[in-house]
Structures are given as C-alpha cells and as structure tokens.
Amino acid sequence: MGHVFRTEEQQAAVDGLRRFLNAKIEPVVNKEYRDKFIPREKMSAIMRELTQFGLISGVISEASGGTEIDWLTMIMLFEEVATTSVDLSVPVVINSFGAYMIEQLAPAHLRERYLPGLVNGELFCSIGISEPDVGSNVLEIKTRARRDGDHFIINGEKTWISNGSYSDFLICTCRTGDDPRRGLTHFLLDRKEHPYEVRDIHKIAWNGQSTAQIFLSDVRVPATNIIGNEGEALKNTLSMFERSRVFVAAQGLCIGRRALEEAVRYATGRRQHGKVIAGHQLIAAMLAEMATNVDAARMLVYRAASMIEAGVPAEMEAAMAKYFACEMAVTVARQAVQIHGGNGVTKDFLVEKLAREAIVVPIPEGTTQIQQLIIGRALTGINAF
Ligand SMILES: Cc1cc2nc3c(=O)[nH]c(=O)nc-3n(C[C@H](O)[C@H](O)[C@H](O)COP(=O)(O)OP(=O)(O)OC[C@H]3O[C@@H](n4cnc5c(N)ncnc54)[C@H](O)[C@@H]3O)c2cc1C
C-alpha cells in the first residue's frame, strides 16, 4: 500500500521491521503460539528484539537511554507489529506507556531503577486503573492507599490488567483522598518487594498475552514510590490517554488491515462459478469498501499522532481515531470471514481469529461509547457522560 506521506527514512524503518516480522515473528505468533499463551521468557525475547527497531525505546529520550523517535514514526512501526499480531502489540504498548510515565513523572531513583530494563525489553510493567466496579469512570476508583508514616498501605482489586502475569511492577492508581479531582495517586509497586497477587483472565481472544486480575492486600509501599505528585493521578492519566488511545486505535486499524490482506489473498485464489471470486462484482465491492475504511482509519490514526507530535491538543482527534478504527475492525473482520465462506469460520484460516480479536478492541482505553461522549463534548461543550 503506497504512502505519499512517508519519508524515505520512515519507509526504510518500516520495511526493515516488516522483513524481520515476516521472517522471525509471524511463524511464532501465528503458528507455534496461535491461540496459545506466550510464556514470559519467549515474550521477553521478542520484546528485546523489537526494541532494536525502536519499539518501546522510541518513546524515551536519548538522555534517558531511549532512541527518541517521533510519535508518527512510532505509530508507523507499531502498525507493523500489530498487523502481525495484536497479542504482541499489547506488551509493546503497555511497556511503552509505563516507560513514558516513568520518564515524565517518576523520581530519579525509580527512573534509574526501572527505565533501562523497560527500554531494553527485559522488564514488563502493568498499568492498573480498572476495577471490578470501575471501568468507564476513572473518578470512582476504590483501591485505597492509606498513609502510615513514610509509607502507604494499599488494599483493593484491579481487573483487566494487561501484562498482569508478566509484570515486574505495577503502576497502580489508588485513592488517597476524597476530593473528586485530586483524590487519586499513582504508586509504583514492585512485584517482589510489594507483592501483589495475579490471576489471568481467559477471554474470547487476545489470549497470547496476559490480561489479569490483581489483588492488593495490605501492600506496604514507601511514599517515595509515588509517580507524579500525590493527588495528580487523574490529570496524568487523562493526559496519557490522549496518546495511548492512538495506539489502541492503531490496533483496530491493524486488525482491519490484516483482515483485508487475508481477504484479498483468498478472493484471488478461490474459484466459484468459473472464475476467482474477486472477479464477482459483489466481492469486489466488499473489498473496495474494506480497503477504503482501513485507509480512512489510518488517516485518523496518523492525524492524531501528528497532532501529538506537534504538541497540539488532540483529545477529540484521538477519540475519533479510536472510535472509527476499532469499529472498522469489527466490520472489516466480519467481511473478511464472509469472503472466506465456510472456511472463514474454521481454525485453518486466520480470519476467524481476527474476527474474535476485533470484538475486543472497541473496549480497552475507553469504549466506543466513551469516545463518542468525548467527541460530543468537544463539539458542543456539553458533557453528556
Ligand atoms: C483486553 C483488555 C485489556 C485491558 N487492559 C487494561 C489495562 O491494562 N489497565 C486497565 O486499567 N484497564 C484495562 N482494561 C479495562 C478497560 O479499560 C475497561 O474494560 C473499559 O474501560 C470499560 O470498562 P468496563 O469493562 O468496566 O465497562 P463498563 O464501564 O461497565 O461499561 C459497560 C458498557 O456501558 C457503556 N457505558 C459506560 N458508561 C457509559 C456512559 N456514561 N454512557 C454510555 N454508555 C456507557 C460502555 O460503553 C459499555 O458498553 C482492559 C480491557 C480489556 C478488554
């Protein structure tokens, strides 16, 4: 697919990564570990290789040991990873944003201790916001951190936490006060020093990596493990969402892109009524619609990434990208199954997996409905939450 807006440097970076993914990663994630959990050692080995291409390390400045890549190029690289495997893209995005939060907000002792391992792909982090009763409304977080001298004691439960069972540490959003906007604080919990219990959740798809419940029972953590200032977790989370949503939008884009690629391959090989099915106008129309929607999603994702790179507020544009790309994934993956006919619902073809993966992507990082509410608020100034 041609890209008039890629520089030669960006194209070379994308091409190099694509060659590596096709040769080394595709057989692992889509054959050996297809629909199977990738153990931590294996996932870590893959992360270490991906950091060589600027994944994870790219969001960190050279001064802090990263490779400092602009946000649009990061998205272009991330698109290649997520097109090969959405499972693989999850630890990339979570470790990237864990690293980003630590570089931007954490005190020096935490930066020195955790950033190098994240940037070289050896450490895994989790970001724990959601709870059993707290999904779309972050303001209602119940996990409590109670001050005890120069420590805090944390009790509560987090759920749907990506990287959970891989994690070496958890950036945990806790309630430290009752003020609606200044009552939340981020803590870094080291899994060995401040033990938390992890239980994996089995889902319809995205089971190649870990999504987990995390239980926190009288976890004692020093006040020096606060990330950002006490009471600033809501502000810092909302500002992170603007960036991280563009990556989840890219996951939707990639499920659609891969479904389209699989559908084109099948439609040009399968024969019915005396010719390949791509030669039937209704199939051609379906492919045309799929390709146009995939490209439209890419434009929205790239626009949001470009605005972030330019330092322009992009809350509405990130929400539009997330909304459109993730709903597009559901539609396009379903069309890809349809083009495969009966074969489309068997485990022999990738599209059944893509269709299951597509159903998941409109949920994390704010559901489709939450994105619609953000867009509506930006348009009218009226909060309809
Ligand atoms: C694969 C996966 C990975 C995840 N990873 C993480 C992670 O790493 N860290 C983390 O903290 N969380 C994570 N999440 C959690 C995710 O962010 C939440 O699932 C999401 O925010 C929705 O919350 P909920 O599931 O509680 O749904 P709810 O908030 O209960 O929503 C249920 C339904 O109600 C709708 N709804 C809710 N409020 C409104 C409203 N005001 N108006 C209209 N409709 C509304 C929603 O759109 C949805 O359709 C992950 C989730 C998944 C599925």
Same-domain pairing of 45 and 86? yes
pLDDT, mean over the chain: 97
Protein residue whose Cα sits closest to atom 30 of ligand 1: 135
pLDDT recorded at residue 332: 99
CA 320 distance to own-chain centroid: 16
pLDDT(323) > 60: yes
Q: State both tokens at 84.
A: 């090969």
Is any atom of ligand 1 closer than 6 Å to the C-beta of 211?
A: yes
Quickly tell me which residue has 């959601």 as its tokens. 130
Domain for residue 3, yes or no?
no
DSSP 297-322: HHHHHHHHHHHHHHT---HHHHHHHH
**Which residue, 119, 134, 153, sits at the end of a domain?**
119
To 10 degrees, what angle do helices 71-84 and 8-20 make?
A: 20
Same-domain pairing of 372 and 245? yes
pLDDT recorded at residue 181: 87
Dump pLDDT digits (tens) for 162-180: 999 999 999 999 999 999 7
Dump pLDDT digits (tens) for 70-88: 999 999 999 999 999 999 9
DSSP 27-46: HIIIIITTTSPPPHHHHHHH
The total number of structural domains in the chain stands at 3
pLDDT(342) > 90: yes
Same-domain pairing of 165 and 196? yes
Distance CA 43, CA 57 (A): 16
Q: State both tokens at 12.
A: 């070379």
User: 137 C-alpha to center of ligand 1: Å?
Assistant: 9
Mean pLDDT of 244-270: 98
User: 368 C-alpha to center of ligand 1: Å?
Assistant: 9
User: 121 C-alpha to center of ligand 1: Å?
Assistant: 28
Protein residue whose Cα sits closest to atom 45 of ligand 1: 369
Is any atom of ligand 1 closer than 6 Å to the C-beta of 128?
A: yes
Same-domain pairing of 329 and 248? yes
Same-domain pairing of 97 and 189? no
Same-domain pairing of 286 and 349? yes
360 pLDDT band, cuts 50/70/90, is very high
DSSP 134: B
Dump pLDDT digits (tens) for 183-203: 999 999 999 999 999 999 999
Domain for residue 60, yes or no?
yes
Return the ∠ at Cα 233 (arms to 229 and 238), rounded to 5°.
Answer: 130
Distance CA 36, CA 130 (A): 25
Domain interval for residue 191: 125-230
Domain for residue 385, yes or no?
no
pLDDT recorded at residue 252: 98
2 pLDDT band, cuts 50/70/90, is low
pLDDT(1) > 60: no
Is any atom of ligand 1 closer than 6 Å to the C-beta of 228?
A: no
pLDDT recorded at residue 34: 92
**Residue 228, SS3 per DSSP:** coil
Backbone angles phi, psi at 7, to 5 degrees: -75, 165
User: 363 C-alpha to center of ligand 1: Å?
Assistant: 6
Domain for residue 94, yes or no?
yes
Is any atom of ligand 1 closer than 6 Å to the C-beta of 84?
A: no
Strand ranges for the chain from DSSP E: 125-128, 144-148, 151-162, 169-175, 184-190, 197-200, 211-222, 226-227, 271-272, 275-276
pLDDT recorded at residue 201: 98
Distance CA 246, CA 59 (A): 14
* Residue of 367, 372, 373, 377 best suited for mutating to test ligand 1, as the one with most atoms within 8 Å of CB: 367
Tally of CB atoms within 10 A around 180: 10
Mean pLDDT of 261-281: 98
pLDDT recorded at residue 245: 97
What sign results for the dihedral spanned by CA atoms 213, 251, 15, 317? negative
* Residue of 143, 160, 162 best suited for mutating to test ligand 1, as the one with most atoms within 8 Å of CB: 160
Protein residue whose Cα sits closest to atom 27 of ligand 1: 135
**Which residue, 199, 230, 261, sits at the end of a domain?**
230
